[in-house]
Amino acid sequence: MKVNLLKCMACGKEYPDAPDRYVCDKCGIDGILDVVYDYKSIKISREEIAASKNYSLWRYRKMLPVADSTQIAPLQVGWTPLYRASAVEKVHGLSHVYIKDDGRNPTASLKDRASAVGIAKAREAGASIICAASTGNAASSLAGFAASAGLKTVIFVPKRAPRAKVTQLLVYGAKTVIVDDCYDRAFELSVETTKKFGFYNRNCAYNPFLVEGKKTVAYEIWEQLGFEIPDRVYVSIGDGCITSGIYKGFYDLIQLGLADRLPRIIGVQAAGCNPVEVAMKTGEFVAQQGNTIADSIAVGIPRNRLKAMRALKESNGDCISVTDDEIKSALLEMPRSTGVFGEPAGVTAFAGFKKHALASNIRTDEKVVVLITGNGLKDIESAISVCTLPQPVAPDSATIEKHVKTLV
């Protein structure tokens, strides 16, 4: 889709489209830009989309800010399954609950949607080294995509990033900097480094094009529901980029005449790190120290909060929080009732959904989508901490028989 301009979310100043124009000159890091399209530049119909045999996010290539001639990375991303969660419907007396499993992406999180577009924009900018900071998933995603595209990466992660995510960086060959501090500091250092070294910046909460990759999850939900808009989408919030992307995707569909309304976007944060919830309630943003088992959303200074709050407000949505105990319950309840295993931040959306369902906040006929943003194998330490590991059993038939009787 033709980009008209890039517009500052804080002051409204407009900038011409360029792959390496990141933030507003006046507002700096708080002035994240929004990609504004010339919606009249494309004609697209449901029939044309439905006829596509490309089962990846590139089936929506016409609706993305990537030139036709730009080479894209080979990893297959998007078109993740949308499952009907019948057992969950039954438990809560609801009629339409769906689980969108974005842990099925190539590096096992929704971040791959952003990386796919990020790599394309880095190519348009002529960059050879890409840099990012991440709680873990954006890092492992960038590392995988860069490897597939033959580009180099320098990646900053906080000390507490789970081992599986750091391992992904190492196996993909990313130059990895483990910052002896929290994500928010790793983020600042990565921005500083991109400026000093001229690296391409793949921070979703800095580079405006990355949210445009994340918006494809909204297109897919719409298409997979038979070209229908759900009533609610539950999503966990860290920096707020996924939330912004969901809004942008549905907003695009309305502008293109393909849909006529937004779903209510319900953001879910961890109670130990809920700056967006507080800002929504009080109108005032206060930085926090992130403290939650859900490492991917342990973001005390959500950099894309302006875009995320616009998404929550304009969709008549809300931001709620759940405790770590509620997240831990969801770590088991979700896989046991749906077959989908999510990491703590991935099941946070499910915990928020459950909280609303138990409070009878959801009408029984509403169509609800719960977005699972990351795979459970990303953080097995957290998952196993809520399980009981069985003791080894003597390997003789009689003991096994006796033992199995105690299980069933």
Ligand X SMILES: *Cc1c(COP(=O)(O)O)cnc(C)c1O
Cβ atoms of 98 and 230 within 8 Å: the answer is yes
252 or 343: CB nearest ligand X? 343
Contact criterion met (CB below 8 Å) for 31 and 37: no
Of 34 and 89, CB closest to ligand X: 34
Rounded to a whole number of angstroms, the minimum distance from the CB of residue 234 to ligand X is: 12
Q: Which is nearer to ligand X, 24 or 139 (CB)?
A: 139
In the list ligand X, Zn ion, none, the entry touching 382 (Cβ below 5 to 8 angstroms by class) is: none
**Shortest reach from residue 294's CB to ligand X, in Å:** 7
Q: How far apart are CA 408 and CA 403, in angstroms?
A: 9
Q: Which does 349 bind (CB under 5 to 8 A by kind): Zn ion, ligand X, none?
A: none
Count of residues that interact with Zn ion, criterion CB under 5 A: 8
Select the binding partner of residue 24 from ligand X, Zn ion, none (C-beta < 5 to 8 A, by kind): Zn ion
The distance of closest approach from Cβ of residue 408 to ligand X in the complex, given in angstroms and rounded to an integer, is 35
Mark residue 145 as left, alpha or beta (left: phi above 0; alpha: psi -120 to 50; beta: remaining).
Answer: alpha
Report the residue from 5, 7, 13, 231 that binds Zn ion according to the rule CB under 5 A: 13
Which of ligand X, Zn ion, none does residue 238 bind (CB under 5 to 8 Å by kind)? ligand X
Amino acid present at 317: G
Does position 11 interact with Zn ion (CB under 5 A)? The reply is yes
Is 61 a binder of Zn ion (CB under 5 A)? no
Q: Which CB sits closer to ligand X, 194 or 373?
A: 373
Asked if 344 and 314 touch (Cβ cutoff 8 Å), the reply is no
Give min distance, CB of 400 to ligand X, in A. Answer: 39
- Label residue 233 exposed, middle or buried (CB < 10 Å: 0-12, 13-18, 19+): buried
Contacted by 8, from ligand X, Zn ion, none: CB < 5 to 8 Å by type = Zn ion
| Residue with Cβ nearer ligand X (5 or 386) | 386
The dihedrals phi and psi of 342, each to the nearest 5 degrees, come to -115, 155
CA-based angle 230:231:237, to the nearest 5? Answer: 90
Residues in touch with ligand X (CB under 6 A)? 109, 111, 137, 204, 236-243, 296-297, 343, 345-346, 373-374
Query: Residue 208 binds which entry of Zn ion, ligand X, none, with Cβ cut-offs from 5 to 8 Å by kind?
Result: none
Give the per-residue contact string, 14-53, with Zn ion (x = CB under 5 A; - = no).
----------x-xx---x----------------------
Q: Which of 1, 3, 6, 8 binds Zn ion (CB under 5 A)?
A: 8
CA–CA separation, 184 and 165 (whole Å): 18
Residues between 257 and 276 with contacts to Zn ion, criterion CB under 5 A: none
Please compute Rg for the chain using Cα positions. 21
Question: Closest separation between CB of residue 331 and ligand X, Å?
Answer: 13
Residue 65 neighbours by CB distance under 10 Å: 20
Name the CA dihedral angle for 32, 33, 35, 38, rounded to a multiple of 10 degrees. 160
Q: Which helix (H) or strand (E) holds 193?
A: helix 183-197
Q: Which tokens is 196 given? A: 């000093």
- Nearest distance in Å: CB 40, ligand X: 30
Q: Which does 11 bind (CB under 5 to 8 A by kind): Zn ion, ligand X, none?
A: Zn ion
CA distance 169 to 238: 21
Q: Which is nearer to ligand X, 208 or 238 (CB)?
A: 238
In this structure, which long-range contacts are made by residues 399-405, counting pairs with CB atoms below 8 Å and at least 24 apart in sequence? none
Q: How far is the CB of 360 from ligand X (least distance, A)?
A: 26
- Which of Zn ion, ligand X, none binds 239 (CB below 5-8 Å, type-dependent)? ligand X
Q: Which of Zn ion, ligand X, none does 346 bind, CB closer than 5 to 8 A by kind?
A: ligand X
The least CB distance from residue 33 to ligand X, in Å, is 16
For the chain, how many helices (H) and strands (E)?
15, 14
Contact with Zn ion (CB under 5 A) among 4, 5, 7, 10: 10
Q: State the binding partner of 26 from ligand X, Zn ion, none, CB within 5 to 8 A by kind.
A: Zn ion
CA atoms within 13 A on the CB side of 211: 32
The CB-nearest residue to ligand X is 374
Q: 3-class DSSP state for residue 189?
A: helix
d(CA 66, CA 72): 9
- How many Å apart are CA 347 and CA 75, to the nearest integer? 25
Output phi, psi for 182, to 5 deg: -90, 175
- What is the binding site for Zn ion (CB under 5 A)? 8, 10-11, 13, 24, 26-27, 31
